Amino acid sequence: MNQDQVAPVADPGSRNLRTRIIAALVLAPAAIAVAWSGGPLWIGLVTLASVGLYVEWLMIVGTAQERRTAAAGITALVVSGLCLGFGHSGYSLVVLVIGAAAVGAASQRLRLWSVAGFCYAAAAEFASAQVRLDGDYGFTALMLVLLVVWVTDIGGYFAGRGIGGPKLWPRVSPKKTWAGAVGGLVASLVVAVGFSAFGFGEMMPLLLLGAVLSVVSQSGDLFESAVKRRFGVKDSSQIIPGHGGLLDRLDGFVAAIVLAALFGFLRGDADGIGHALMVW
């Protein structure tokens, strides 16, 4: 090669985008398949994910080395998952309350942050299980939440990069823009229209629900970014190529699924959350 010639260098942003797409193409179908199967397989996945969320949270705040704190939370999440798997939601809640107290008692420093991390993971576990529990509408409701979160992220990414403009909250997340936030919101409305077009619910309620879930999902993303910035951490881990850690990937979903479960419970009951979300 001539000394004046320079070998082309791939754009790091393009490489990262390809990695993100490949990871998504592998993980998304797997998550959908497990969600469709429901039952113990879904409970097992959300329990495993909740344990990962809790461990990553402890890593961010700097208390992961406290073995008793980690063990107390992990044990409670696993036992709670077993209760959910056997259909005992009430026992699961009791275990999670005891787990929060145990984490607080075991913590030697930053006790409130450790307990907050456990509550975050516990809420994700319990809400994800309860939404899918509805035999008639659980899968449909869960897919609505998943797709809204996913397209909000995708729409926000491409709108933010393609349009740019004013930053949404530069002190917390320097790359996020108002254009990205609106792009994500519009994408969520498209999902809501699609569900209605295929007969899965009435148009206006689904549009409103999709919009609220999109905003909440983006707020969950900002919340996790604020926690990481508070402790000077860029990524919660590197477990998912191109996406960072479980917290980085699931922050929006956690916020959206918790809100969906709470709203469905208030509108219906514990066994009909999916019905309350989809039927108006």
Contact (CB, 8 A) for 74 and 64: no
- Do 95 and 62 belong together in one domain? yes
Q: Are residues 97 and 76 in the same domain?
A: yes
Q: How many degrees, rounded to 5, is the angle at CA 214 between CA 28 and CA 16?
A: 45
For position 260, what pLDDT does the model report? 97
Amino acid in position 29:
P
User: How confident is the model at residue 39, as a pLDDT?
Assistant: 94
Distance in angstroms (rounded) separating the CA atoms of residues 82 and 216? 29
Residues 80 and 117 in one domain: yes
pTM of the model: 0.91
Shared domain for 277 and 146, answered yes or no, is yes
**212, 111: one domain:** no
Residue 237: predicted pLDDT: 76
Note whether 72 and 178 are same-domain residues. no
Q: Which of 81, 98, 133 is the last residue of a domain?
A: 133
**Rounded Cα distance, 226 and 34, in Å:** 31
Question: Does a structural domain hold residue 60?
Answer: yes
Judge whether 8 lies within some domain. Answer: no
* pLDDT score at 149: 97
Question: Could you tell me if 140 and 226 lie in one domain?
Answer: yes
Residue 44 lies in a domain: yes
Predicted local distance difference test score (pLDDT) of residue 3: 47
What pLDDT is stored for residue 1 in this prediction? Answer: 45
Q: Domain range spanning residue 64? A: 38-133
Using the 3D structure, point to which of 133, 161, 185 is the last residue of a domain.
Answer: 133
**What's the structural domain count of the chain?**
2
pLDDT of residue 219: 97
Residue given tokens 């299980």 in the structure block: 129
Give the domain-ending residue among 110, 133, 156. 133
CB 120, CB 60: distance < 8 Å: no
Q: Which residues of the chain have pLDDT under 50?
A: 1-7, 9-10
Tell whether 98 and 220 lie within a shared domain. no
Q: Is 158 exposed, middle or buried (0-12, 13-18, 19+ CB in 10 A)?
A: middle
Same domain, 71 and 114: yes
